Amino acid sequence: MAHHTTNYLTTFIEVADDCPTDHAVEPPASEKPTIAALHYRLIAEQPYARTSDDVIFETYAQRNGVALDDTAARDAFFSKGQPCLRSSPLGKRYGWGLHHDDEGRVALVARDSEQYALLAADPAIAHTRAMRGRRA
């Protein structure tokens, strides 16, 4: 079975061109956590502990009552292409950049931080942007 990955290596996903906030905002908490809230919690609580695949599968698992250690479910989930973290609301709407280290593990970087400015200007890493929230 083919495995489609969403992981990036040594890459900085900058906020979307049309991100409505000029500073990073924590997504609102709610009774049924949103994708944004789940992504935020998984990455913010343990920076550089999970890959993009881990974050995306754990989000799916939590929202659908799937066990995190169900390797068959994970294999089935990734047998089809999945949207990567470029489509996460964190970079589209909430002002968070996503830095992937050389092992693919991800951390949040507030758009209004010095670290964001340094990463955005770093020629040694790959750069991409979060997807726009709406068509231009």
> What's the pLDDT tens digit per position in 49-96?
999 999 999 999 999 999 999 999 999 999 999 999 999 999 999 999
Residue 2 lies in a domain: no
Q: Is residue 6 part of a domain?
A: no
57 is a domain residue: yes
Ranking 23-27, 39-43, 120-124, 130-134 by mean pLDDT, the lowest is 130-134
Q: Give me the number of domains the chain comprises.
A: 1
Domain limits at 118? 11-129
User: Is it the case that residue 30 has pLDDT exceeding 90?
Assistant: no
Measure Cα distances from 15 to 4, 33, 94, 118 in Å.
24, 22, 9, 14
Whether residue 42 is contained in a domain is answered as yes
SS3 115: helix
